[in-house]
Amino acid sequence: MNASSVLWTIELKIIKTVTDAASRILKISATVFSFCAVSSAAIAGVGEGQELYNAYCQICHGALGEGQTMGKPLTDGVANRLSDQDLLTVISEGRSGTGMVAWEGSLSETEIFDIASYIRNLQGKPALNLADNDAGPSDDPRVLAGEQLFNGEASCATCHSYGDQGGSVGPSLDGLSKRLGEDALMQALLNPSATIVSGYAAKEVEQEDGTIIRGRYRNDSELAVQIQSADGRRWVTYFKERVKSVRDSDQSLMPDTYANLAAAEQQILLAFLMSL
């Protein structure tokens, strides 16, 4: 091999070494760039969630999640106890019988996730954890049977809520066992009109044809009164000049469901309620 060939071979090796090194540098740079992009997206999620929240949510729930006339607080005990998956479901699917609309279809999954992350931020909590598999209040068979009765045949969930399910005509039952002993709870179930929780009083609107409509009082003004229908599905405004009368009711909207249950059904329903 002559000197020229030797020099050419050495030059080729040098070029290959430089090319390999450059390739490795490009791969490392791409990896670093990807990591930075993911990290930036993760950090931006809460910020983007705040922008989305301010645009779509704060009008009902308040700038800091404190709640407004049209929307419940997002930083109270009930909202704080929602699992991450339940929070995402509420935002995606809304809540029947309330003003909470479903955002699925209007917002992307990423946008809904970012809003939920920002709500957790308002609650002083860490990022979402979708591994939360809390299945219910108890594994006690009586409690589970009572929960099924509550949500099913007894129709208690039409008016009352626990966790993030149920209606809003009656008080939320979260933490019920801490507020009422078993005897007091029995009294409330058997004679619901004896003590009506503040804010859940009923009003009666008598129309010109004599029809009387009862519902949970919501808002009142000089011109009109707004009540929530007994089934919780509608908020209806009645103009006072177009009805015969609007009056307070001393009777609870809660029906005599418990008193009409069989003894065994009363026991399992009571077991469920005392588990909350």
pLDDT bin (cut points 50, 70, 90) of residue 1 is low
pLDDT bin (cut points 50, 70, 90) of residue 256 is confident
For 167-204, what is each residue's pLDDT tens digit?
Answer: 878 888 888 888 888 888 888 898 888 888 777 888 88
Q: What is the pTM of this model?
A: 0.48
Angle at 233 between CA 265 and CA 256, to 5 degrees: 30
Rounded to the nearest 10 degrees, how much is the dihedral formed by the CA atoms of 80, 141, 130, 63?
Answer: -20
- Whether residue 140 is predicted with pLDDT greater than 50 in this model: the reply is yes
Largest CA distance in the chain: 118
Percent helix, percent strand, percent coil in the chain, to nearest 5 = 45, 15, 40
- Whether residue 91 is predicted with pLDDT greater than 90 in this model: the reply is yes
| Average pLDDT over all residues of the chain | 77
Helix (H) / strand (E) containing 5: helix 3-56
Identify the structural domains of the chain with CATH numbers, from first to last: 1-134 (1.10.760.10), 141-192+256-274 (1.10.760.10), 202-249 (2.30.30.100)
3-state DSSP assignment of residue 47: helix
